[in-house]
Amino acid sequence: MDIFDKIDNMGPIGQWQSQSHGYFSFPKLEGEIEPHMIFRGKRVLNWSLNNYLGLANLPEVRKADAEAAAQYGLAYPMGARMMSGQTRKHEELEEELARFVGKPSAYVLNYGYQGMVSIIDTLLGRNDVVIYDSESHACIIDGLRIFPGKRFVYQHNDMESCRKQLEHATAVVEKTGGGILLVTEGVFGMAGDLGNLKAITDLKKEFNFRILVDDAHGFGTMGATGAGTSEHFGVQDQVDIYFATFAKSMAGIGAFVASQEHVIRFLAYNMRSQIFAKSLPMAMVLGIQKRLEILKSHPELRENLWNIAGELQKGLREIGFDLGRTQSPVTPVYMFGGIPEAANMIFDLRENFGVFCSMVVYPVVPKGQIMLRLIPTAAHTLNDVKETVEAFRVVRDRLAAGKYNKEKIAQF
């Protein structure tokens, strides 16, 4: 068989690409990065930005980005950190990040996804065992795919299930002489609920294992200072390895990992995604420094984010929507229907109400379920919330009346 023969089967999501590309998938949003942007020539209210604190379009952030790019360009430094891509500014940012999240040391990564894959790959050997939450992000799952040892999955946030897997893992390492790593998320990015970090860390009293937390959606949004979900639960000293990206609250590119100094040094010398790939450009390093400075000195941004998120979630719940188990700004709205209904509803929202949000369907959620995922930011307003809640009220009634399943998938 020619390896290209299977390309005709585009997979569970790609099978709709001929009808969805450019609109439902791979849409192009244009204009300034703010709640109102341009989609296919029309102004829409956008709830699909990874920009929790509204930093992307702040004048001081734009100024810092522009000045850094003008001074260094986008190429500097050339090369991987280990070879020729190390700078004093990278080290300064790492020191600032480590202090902020309460860890002895940190290491800046060029990208978050590859970073998490590489952290798992580097930490674990064939004699070790990994335990992970069943709803872990794809970057965690992909890291586990290349792990040669045993892995055990526990039911989402189910501590009895977690305990059982720790018992299994302990029995294995007693024979192999390896160690145990437990991986979870701080904030689960689809459902918006929090990893049960307090209960997980309490299990350390009974079992010998280390904890790795992916806090992509928690860094900057959770905790008294925004230092993340481990700060929120008061367990920063119990989380052994803390990971977060710059792509959510920081409205940038890259990531970092924080832990004990010898752990970070080991990762720096062994993570293939960093040893064999270019260092994070200086313009982004300096831009992240400015964002971190604002994050620490302007708590009102985080307060406004939570105010907008709270009002949005309250308004949607008051008109009968199921938001699941979210405990964070992530706002999933659950309804029943198939891909045609979801597509027609999204088309209606965008074209007739000017509301842009993301559609999530099978296989990300079970068949017969639709999730519309909204990401509130500090830049949104209460008027944006009011407008969106009213639009959702109308499309919910149209979905219930069967309007969307009587039509073909919307064409554009």
- Can you give the CATH number for the domain in which 398 is found? 3.90.1150.10
**Of 278, 297, 316, which marks where a domain is finished?**
297
Q: What is the pLDDT of residue 412?
A: 44
Distance CA(298)–CA(296), nearest Å, equals: 6
Same domain, 232 and 316: no
Same domain, 291 and 308: no
**Of 280, 297, 314, which marks where a domain is finished?**
297
Arithmetic mean of pLDDT, 237-254: 97
**Cβ proximity of 144 and 123 under 8 Å:** no
Q: Which domain CATH number covers 96?
A: 3.40.640.10
pTM score of the predicted model: 0.94
Same domain, 119 and 236: yes
Asked whether residue 53 is domain-assigned, the answer is: no
- Strand positions, DSSP E, 161-227: 180-185, 210-214
**Of 256, 281, 297, which marks where a domain is finished?**
297
Asked whether residue 111 is domain-assigned, the answer is: yes
Same domain, 383 and 249: no
Asked whether residue 5 is domain-assigned, the answer is: no
Q: Which of 81-85, 123-127, 323-327, 365-369 has the lowest mean pLDDT?
A: 365-369
Number of domains in the chain: 2
H or E element, residue 101: helix 88-101
Residue 222 pLDDT > 90, yes or no? yes
Distance CA(134)–CA(157), nearest Å, equals: 8
Residue 314 contacts by C-beta under 8 Å, 6 or more apart in sequence? none
Asked whether residue 41 is domain-assigned, the answer is: yes
Same domain, 203 and 243: yes
Arithmetic mean of pLDDT, 211-220: 98
Distance CA(222)–CA(215), nearest Å, equals: 9
Same domain, 317 and 334: yes
What pLDDT, in 10s, does the model give residues 165-185? 999 999 999 999 999 999 999
Same domain, 289 and 311: no
Asked whether residue 54 is domain-assigned, the answer is: no
Pair of tokens at residue 274: 């960093």
- Max CA pair span of the chain: 63
Residue 406 pLDDT > 80, yes or no? no
Pair of tokens at residue 147: 């792990």
Q: Which domain holds residue 37?
A: 15-46+299-406
Asked whether residue 399 is domain-assigned, the answer is: yes
Asked whether residue 396 is domain-assigned, the answer is: yes
Angle at which helix 261-268 crosses helix 112-123, to 10 degrees, equals 100
Asked whether residue 390 is domain-assigned, the answer is: yes
Q: Confidence band (pLDDT; 50, 70, 90) for 213? A: very high
Same domain, 158 and 289: yes
Residue 260 has a CB neighbour count (10 Å cut-off) of 13
Same domain, 155 and 284: yes
What pLDDT, in 10s, does the model give residues 73-86? 999 999 999 999 99
Residue 341 contacts by C-beta under 8 Å, 6 or more apart in sequence? 370, 399, 404, 405
Q: Confidence band (pLDDT; 50, 70, 90) for 16? A: low
